[in-house]
Chain A
């Protein structure tokens, strides 16, 4: 990650994270992933961004105690801790925010496009209905291109647990295709 490269030159120095420039680079390299993880978790963009911002505030408050390379797992741990209270408040889906990528394959027949959008709709619904643990892991891998070991270290899981969740998520989603 970007900040890691920056760090190599001045590795031992403490409280580096407390400098605005380093903090910003940590933000740039971690915010999107953290926020998207929380989107998958909460199924709400507003709440995900709010919680992710709060996690960065906690990171800033602890900047003197942490090395920049510890930031990512600290942020995830903090965000999960912060979200424990939130989740109990309500479990209503507000805005999941999954969308199709803008790049469109032209030259498809309208019928195909219609079928495909129907499939996407059903798939999104099925993803929303997945258990939270499967959904977060599955989308971190599929949508955020995080490898299983990367997910395992961010979420403090074993790689085997990540693999099981991936497998089970795909088994669940398979049932959607059956009906199309």
Chain B
């Protein structure tokens, strides 16, 4: 009986190879395996003798080698041009790629009093407040960076670092909700979910949920906004906490497309409160009554604020 186990127990044994090569003869093999096995191995050896592979056509194959040699040779002299051609093409593709990745070819702008909500290619959402713009590159997934001017609320999908660049500073996050205001001389970031890293004025601050920070007049101020779940302006209300009046009025101007003249002495007075973005008169009252100021409209459409 054929004894499979016996042979597999001795993996280092090569007696069958020795037998095939004639190093041991039939009698010696018979000592090592059963008679049935021996017969089977002999049948195998004889059957294999009758096998062969079809003959190759030597001339045809040599001709093929020659043709391939010539083809390879032809490539070489002219090979330099294609090489530079490929190199040039590769560089071009690289530059196009870099351009598409790093150049901010998409731009969304809002006018006076408009809001706009857009989905970025990675499904992050940006809501732009009035008179704001955001730019982002084509291959956004490779380079999650947007440039912001004005104010926007971000709901960032999880993923690679998401950067908001503004003239005043940068905000870096991984996935969170936050509001950024970037107006001339004024930079404010409020975090509503997760963590954000704010870099401005050569300092870097990490905001957690409910923290806000603002930078103006080369000073920074941090406060707690944990009572709010999202910026009020998303619901048509401009809210301020301890903000110099000039920025409040600038915000009013962006919402209503009005020029506002006010005594410069009041510019630095801090204003806390809010105004609606839907009704100009109510908004003006919201600003002026708590500050004990008066306002009037001129014939040219300007608004003049006075004591």
Interface residues of A (CB under 8 A from B): 24, 27-28, 31-32, 35-36, 39-40, 45, 49, 52-54, 56-57, 60-61, 97-101, 116, 119-120, 123-124, 139, 141-143, 147-148, 160, 162-164, 166-167, 170-171, 173-178
With A53-B65, A166-B16 already in contact, the answer to whether A148 and B53 are too (CB < 8 A) is no
B65 adjacent to A171 (CB under 8 Å): no
Residues of A within 8 A of B51 (CB): 98-101, 120, 123-124, 142-143
With A166-B20, A167-B16 already in contact, the answer to whether A53 and B50 are too (CB < 8 A) is no
Query: 6 tightest A-B contacts by CB?
Result: A166-B17, A177-B40, A163-B14, A163-B17, A170-B16, A167-B14
B69 adjacent to A36 (CB under 8 Å): no
Residues of A within 8 A of B21 (CB): 141, 147-148, 166
- Determine which of A56, A60, A167 lies in contact with B13 in the assembled complex, contact meaning CB atoms within 8 Å: A167
With A49-B56, A53-B68, A174-B41 already in contact, the answer to whether A142 and B15 are too (CB < 8 A) is no
- Bound-state Cα–Cα, A141 to B11, Å: 20
- Bound-state Cα–Cα, A166 to B15, Å: 10
With A54-B68, A163-B18, A174-B2 already in contact, the answer to whether A39 and B53 are too (CB < 8 A) is yes
A98 adjacent to B40 (CB under 8 Å): no
Whole-angstrom distance between the Cβ of A180 and the nearest chain B Cβ = 8
Interface residues of B (CB under 8 A from A): 2, 4, 7-8, 11-18, 20-21, 37, 40-41, 43-44, 47-56, 58, 61-62, 64-65, 68-69, 72
Give 15 new A-B contacts, CB below 8 A, not counting A123-B48, A142-B51, A164-B11. Answer: A31-B56, A31-B61, A35-B56, A97-B53, A98-B52, A100-B51, A139-B53, A142-B20, A143-B53, A160-B14, A166-B21, A167-B13, A170-B17, A170-B44, A174-B37
A174 adjacent to B68 (CB under 8 Å): no
For A166, the closest partner residue in chain B by CB is B17
A57 adjacent to B68 (CB under 8 Å): yes
Residues of B within 8 A of A40 (CB): 53
- Determine which of B14, B44, B52, B56 lies in contact with A164 in the assembled complex, contact meaning CB atoms within 8 Å: B14
| A–B Cβ pairs within 8 angstroms, 24 of them | A27-B58, A27-B62, A36-B56, A39-B53, A53-B64, A57-B69, A60-B65, A98-B52, A99-B51, A99-B54, A100-B52, A101-B51, A120-B50, A123-B47, A123-B48, A139-B53, A148-B17, A164-B14, A167-B14, A167-B17, A171-B7, A171-B8, A174-B2, A175-B4
Across the A-B interface, how many residue pairs have beta carbons closer than 8 Å? 117
A32 adjacent to B56 (CB under 8 Å): yes
- Determine which of A52, A60, A160, A164 lies in contact with B61 in the assembled complex, contact meaning CB atoms within 8 Å: A52
Residues of B within 8 A of A99 (CB): 51-54
A53 adjacent to B61 (CB under 8 Å): yes
- Determine which of B15, B40, B55, B56 lies in contact with A174 in the assembled complex, contact meaning CB atoms within 8 Å: B40
Residues of A within 8 A of B16 (CB): 166-167, 170-171
Residues of B within 8 A of A160 (CB): 14
For B48, the closest partner residue in chain A by CB is A142
- Bound-state Cα–Cα, A143 to B51, Å: 7
For B20, the closest partner residue in chain A by CB is A166
- Bound-state Cα–Cα, A97 to B56, Å: 11
Whole-angstrom distance between the Cβ of B48 and the nearest chain A Cβ = 5
Residues of A within 8 A of B55 (CB): 32
For A32, the closest partner residue in chain B by CB is B56
Residues of A within 8 A of B54 (CB): 45, 97, 99
